[in-house]
Amino acid sequence: MFCRKYWFRNLVCALLVGLPTNAFGDDRPNILVIVADDLGYADLGFQGCKDIPTPHLDGLAKSGVRCTNGYVTHPFCSPTRAALLTGRYQQRFGHENNPAWLPEDRVAGLPHSETPLPSVLRTKGYATGCVGKWHLGAHPSFHPNRRGFEHYYGALGGGHVYQDGLKGSNEYTIPMDRNGVGEPLEGYITTVFGHEASEYIKRSQPKPWLLYLAFNAPHTPLQSTPELQQRVSHIENKERRDLAAMIVGMDDAVGEVLSTLDSTGQRDNTLVFFFSDNGGPISVTKANNSPLRNGKGSVYEGGIRVPFVVSWPRKLPKGTTFDKPVVSLDVFATSVALAGAANQPTEKIEGVNLIPYLSGQTNESPHETLFWRTGGGATSAVRQGNWKLIGKRGEAAELYELGKDINEQNNLANSDRDKVKQLEKAYEEWNTKNVAPLFESPKQPRKKK
């Protein structure tokens, strides 16, 4: 009787102060993964941007750790997402390209040989939700509800028009999908995603939850609202202004989600990741990747190095920076460790639990070496310490010392052949565990001259 009495009292007290809990006294963190689409490296305030106001994302950065050497595993959309949700380099299982929008294709999508993060977390009692862009296969067998997510709302393809009635390809004008049922898009898609994510957060407590919030902003088409345009009217270049309006819309949506975490008492014990799926496409959207070289599609820094924030007020320091390399693979490893899923069959995970590093428990680097490969080896890259090797099929290797040359302008390959050989050997060893791409990216239509 005594134990039951005090168990109930403690439960009530926890609810009154807004601490996430449940009948088992569960204080494991909620996990919120926010991914932007084609965001420029320097297009947010906390990254030094001066012309686009992003107060909510800036506040998120101040609430946690800004990773100044944050990477994704690929320089364009779908492969990055495949690695993020599996914790493995996507080349290990052939997901090296974007799947075409072919609902009849049973191959072009996240292979069923892989166990996605939500499937693992569900075994540990987590609620699992996904809101936003999917882009991991059009066939029904690839649907988020069949890959571990109990709840899904969003656009299943590689992108979408931002409001119903606007022009776009078939893939970009399909109905929104809510747990396998189509419905019309009502409102501005970025705002809708923010609202849907907030509603999911409200109804999922007190059970610990995973929410994967994947915006399609600021990916093309460059579409916004008059109100968003007005807030960036000071920007003269039209394409840059359109991009800025979309980023402001995304910042607003993130603000709604963070406000919901605050109002429901869940912010302190929610681990939030934020990053872009790749670098910004400079010539297409006027994204700013400064001071990095190139952009989306490239294995130079501008294609793979992204704004990267990790916030967990209960455990991580606020307003700090972490300068050693981290990668989107680490989301999976960190999440399963905190959820208590270490006994799951996750021996193939290639990320690491970032918490000991970001909290200062260890001064070591999370990763000795990171790797990239596109087109089955058409381009490649290796980063080891501050050294980076670029490979292009049929061309001589390029070597850069990123600590001194962040924009990759001084090629040292001819003056340091030993370092080139060392990194080439590391890449070759890593590449022996990869497979050929299972499917090819859809061909883009040629622009009319």
Quote the CA–CA distance of 261 and 227 in Å, as a whole number. Answer: 26
- 86's CB contacts (< 8 A; 6+ apart) are 93, 110, 114, 115, 116, 117, 332
- Taking Cα atoms as reference points, which of 214, 245, 220 lies closest to residue 78? 214
Q: Which 3 state secondary structure label does DSSP give 118?
A: helix
Choose the catalytic residue: 135, 143, 151, 160.
135
- Looking at residue 277, what DSSP letter applies? S
- 318's CB contacts (< 8 A; 6+ apart) are 62, 63, 64
Cα 92 to Cα 294, 350, 388, 430, 441: the distances in Å are 26, 11, 21, 10, 17
The total of other beta-carbon atoms located within 10 Å of residue 12's CB is: 9
Choose the catalytic residue: 67, 77, 130, 219.
77
Residue 135 falls in the annotated catalytic set:
yes
Q: For 198-210, b where at least 16 C-beta lie within 10 A, e where not — what string?
A: bebbeebbbbbbb
Beta bridge partners of 383: 370, 388
Residue 77 falls in the annotated catalytic set:
yes
- Taking Cα atoms as reference points, which of 394, 321, 254, 280 lies closest to residue 70? 321
Quote the CA–CA distance of 342 and 333 in Å, as a whole number. Answer: 9
The total of other beta-carbon atoms located within 10 Å of residue 432's CB is: 7
Q: Which 3 state secondary structure label does DSSP give 400?
A: strand
Quote the CA–CA distance of 302 and 280 in Å, as a whole number. Answer: 7
Active site positions, annotated: 77, 135
